[in-house]
A and B are shown apart, each in its own frame.
Chain A
Amino acid sequence: MSKIEKALNKAREGRGNLQVVPVAGAVHVPGTAVVADSAAHPETIPRMAKSEVRLLGAGELAQRGIIQPQHSEDPAVQVFRELRTRIVQKSQGQNAVILVAPVSKGCGGSFIAQNLGAAFAFDMGKTALLIDCNLKSPSVHRLLANGSAPGLTDYLEKPDLDLAEIIRPVGIARYRVITAGKREILAEHFMSGKMKRLMDTLQRRYQERFIIMDGPPMSNISDIRILSELSDYVLVVARYGRSTNRQIDSCLGAIGDKKLLGIVFNDEPRIPRIF
């Protein structure tokens, strides 16, 4: 039994809701969760195992542009792990709501948000919930087989819709998403009490849950201001060969230093080792 398993068992005895399920055949990285291709659920959180769908295979993950823990040599994997560690350090072990907002459209904010969620889900002691707050061009639904299921806007509009109905597994252990939903609503709904209560509920219900909000471009200042109010930290995404210092300056002005976590410089071209 590894040290991690010992620690987890100890935690289970203390909290009574954790379970270690070793995965046969998968590359086991100490301290991280494993996304396996097997039919068995490697879910360490029992409440999640019940509602888990078929886990995505390596090919499907790669197709969706999601990092995989077994590719530990991959610079992208290392970077997202590093990012996760920094956030955890910053939140001093508490869970947190992180708003990921691109400087402008096309900077890859959704890519960063999805992979940051995956990086949190790597950790068997943490879960990740990705909320698609980019109502104008949502993208989280593409992770799902059935993208047309109700999402955030439906929940905010329909009083009878249960929260459990919009939180959906994506086929990655300890990773859930809330899609943007089908309804076209105004961004002012983010200011509503229901939205605030939703965020409070999501954050307080499970201490190990890290919530990542896939935000709209920061050019949409009003939405960003509202969403940053709902979040603990803001991560700005700039893109190689697209964002300018002037754009970044105006974004940083809109957020303020208190919640700003840092900037992610996305899509730097590096020659991959392909041969």
Chain B
Amino acid sequence: MSLLPEQIPRALVNESFHSRRLVVSIFVIVNVVVLTAGFLWPKGYTASTSILVDERTIIQPLMQGAAVATDALDRSRNAREVIFGRKIMDIALEHGGWLKTQPSVEERELLIEGIKKRTVISTVGKNILRIEYQDVDPMRALRVTEKFAELFMQESIAAKAAESGAAFAFIEKQTQEYQDKLASTEQELKELRSSTLDVRAGSEGEVTTRLNDLYRRIDTAMQELREAEVKGASLERQVSGEAESTAAISREGQYRARIADLQAKLDTLRLSYHDTHPDIVQVKQQIQDLTEGINTQRLRREQTKRSGKSEPDESVVNNPVYQQLRREQSQNQASVDALTARIEELQRQLQSEVSRGKRMHSGDARLAELTRDYQINRDIYQDLLRRRENARVSMNMDSDRQGLTFKIQEPATLPLAPTGIRFSHFVLGGMLLGVLIPLGLLYARLQLDPRIRIGSAIAVAHKLPMVTVVPHMWSPADLKALRWELVLLTLVVVATVAASGALSVMRLIKVL
């Protein structure tokens, strides 16, 4: 049954009165339970001590800039690991007097678990570590807390020395590795340099100049060769074709001139003689011979043109111009041969120079690589040398306890008053819970139980014009009984409260 907020207080009061015996019973039971818990709750005396710690890890400053150190773990967690370790716990057991009864292994484990539960390790600010230990015995709380602080500092110093030793060993090993690496790089560099003596830094410019020069010379020689070839062709043409034809034409001309003379002579003779005259016949014969001669010359010239060979006749060979041409032609042929040979030589040199350039480049790359490796290794090696010396100093400081960074900031004192939940808290809590729990249960019942407990809710739920609420009618006998019941319940409540108060006072003055 859901209630409106304004109905809740009245409904709770009615319901509390209705279930008064239950309410009082729960009140008493809750009080008894809580008071029993209060009796069983161990009295706790807490002793605490503060330790100022300047606990920077050795490896971190040593390796700063060269390697990334892992994040330092939470200081209190580290301290907890150290203190809750088996070694310190065993010493604490002995020191706290728990071993006098000679507990079994299981009992020892339980005792250790108990000590761990009662120990709180926390950090205050950045560098102060706080160890709190709670015990039923104040003296033992003090002793165990002091012992914890002492053992923690001892263990931490030892751990620190071990850490700096390990750091030194690590750096030493690294240094050795880099030294070896450096030596091997140096050796390799040396070998490379001796194997490529002809290849030196700076040769690249020379090779380029030489290559350029060779290219230029080849170009020049090629140019000259082409010129000589053109000249040779021209001379050849002059010597064979043109001279021949010139000579042939001149002979035909001579023949024609003779034919013209003979024709004139023939004309003259014909004026005087018949054609049968022997002179005329002779002249005619001469003309015919000359004409045949011309034809013979023409045929010869044409044959020469076709075959390309000229067979200069003696007149031509004896011609000085011809002889001059032949001489120039042979000279030109000699220069062509010389130029061809030179070009071949130049090209061979060019190939050699190109292969040398290639070789030089590959050698340069390897050299640069080796040089770079060498420089890096040398830098790291020098850095490691410096760090190794630092690590050696740190290790020596730790072994001589010169770098001690623990200091008891606040020594443990004997706890005089118990801490934690006190008996009076249980008493008050019992009272409060004794009231709140029944009210809560009744409230839950009001909310969850579908049975009606508010008369006005019926009118709303069923839209009825008339709802009459009849209160419980008490007969005189009922009232009398109720009176007694209420007196009794009040007495029970008062007795419970009085008993709680009395127990609280007795506990305070340490009677109980």
Contacts and interface: CB of A to CB of B under 8 A. Distances in A.
A244 B14 CA distance: 18
A76 interface: yes
A79 B470 contact: yes
Contact of B476 (A62, A83, A248): A62
B451 A243 contact: yes
Interface string A49-73: 0000000000100110101000000
A269 B14 contact: yes
Interface string B5-48: 00000000111011000000000000000000000000000000
A2 B190 CA distance: 145
Given A244-B451, A245-B458, A249-B462, A265 B467 contact: yes
A238 interface: yes
Contacts of B452: 238, 240-241, 243-245, 248, 265
A180 interface: no
B454 to A, nearest CB: 9
Contact of A63 (B458, B465, B468, B475): B475
Interface string B473-487: 111110100110010
Contact of B462 (A75, A82, A252): A252
A29 to B, nearest CB: 18
Residue with the highest number of chain B CB atoms closer than 10 Å, among A79, A240, A245, A272: A240
A86 interface: yes
A82 B483 CA distance: 29
Contact of B464 (A83, A246, A263): A263
Contact of B17 (A80, A112, A269): A269
A103 to B, nearest CB: 10
B472 interface: yes
B301 to A, nearest CB: 148
Nearest to B487: A275
A270 interface: yes
Contacts of A241: 18, 449, 451-453
Contact of A62 (B450, B457, B470, B475): B475
A270 B471 contact: yes
A270 B472 contact: yes
Contacts of A264: 467-470
Interface in B264-321: none
B19 to A, nearest CB: 9
A193 B451 CA distance: 40
Given A245-B452, A268-B472, A63 B467 contact: no
A263 B467 contact: yes
Contacts of B469: 79, 264-265, 268
B411 interface: no
A240 B486 CA distance: 21
A69 to B, nearest CB: 14
Nearest to B18: A269
Nearest to A59: B476
Nearest to B14: A269
A76 B475 CA distance: 12
Given A243-B451, A249-B462, A83 B468 contact: yes
A274 interface: yes
B461 interface: yes
A270 B449 CA distance: 20
A88 interface: no
A101 to B, nearest CB: 15
Contacts of A263: 458-459, 462, 464, 466-468
B97 interface: no
B444 to A, nearest CB: 14
A79 B452 CA distance: 19
Interface string A245-275: 1101100100000001111111111111011
Nearest to B473: A76
Residue with the highest number of chain B CB atoms closer than 10 Å, among A62, A86, A246: A62
Given A242-B451, A274-B483, A265 B468 contact: yes
B482 A274 contact: yes
Contacts of A75: 471
B473 to A, nearest CB: 5
B455 interface: yes
Given A243-B451, A248-B462, A272 B474 contact: yes
A270 B470 contact: no
B470 A267 contact: yes
A262 B354 CA distance: 123
B490 to A, nearest CB: 11
Interface string B491-505: 000000000000000
B466 A261 contact: yes
A104 B6 CA distance: 29
Contacts of A83: 468
Nearest to A80: B470
Residue with the highest number of chain A CB atoms closer than 10 Å, among B17, B464, B483: B464
Given A63-B475, A270-B472, A274-B483, A240 B467 contact: no
Contacts of A82: 468
A112 B458 CA distance: 18
Interface in B325-365: none
A26 to B, nearest CB: 18
A265 B458 contact: yes
A265 B1 CA distance: 15
A263 B13 CA distance: 23
Nearest to B486: A274
Contacts of B468: 79, 82-83, 262-265
Interface in A88-147: 111-112, 115
Interface string B57-72: 0000000000000000
A265 B465 contact: no
A263 to B, nearest CB: 5
Interface string B220-258: 000000000000000000000000000000000000000
Contacts of B457: 245
Given A63-B475, A269-B18, 20 more contacts: A65-B475, A75-B471, A82-B468, A238-B452, A240-B452, A241-B18, A242-B451, A243-B451, A248-B461, A249-B462, A260-B464, A265-B452, A265-B468, A268-B14, A269-B471, A269-B472, A270-B472, A271-B13, A272-B474, A274-B479
Closest 10 CB pairs of A and B: A262-B466, A265-B455, A269-B18, A244-B450, A270-B471, A76-B473, A265-B469, A264-B468, A62-B475, A266-B470
13 contacts: A65-B473, A240-B18, A241-B451, A242-B451, A244-B450, A244-B452, A245-B450, A252-B464, A263-B459, A272-B482, A274-B474, A274-B482, A274-B486
Interface of A: 59, 62-63, 65, 67, 74-76, 79-80, 82-83, 86, 111-112, 115, 238, 240-246, 248-249, 252, 260-272, 274-275
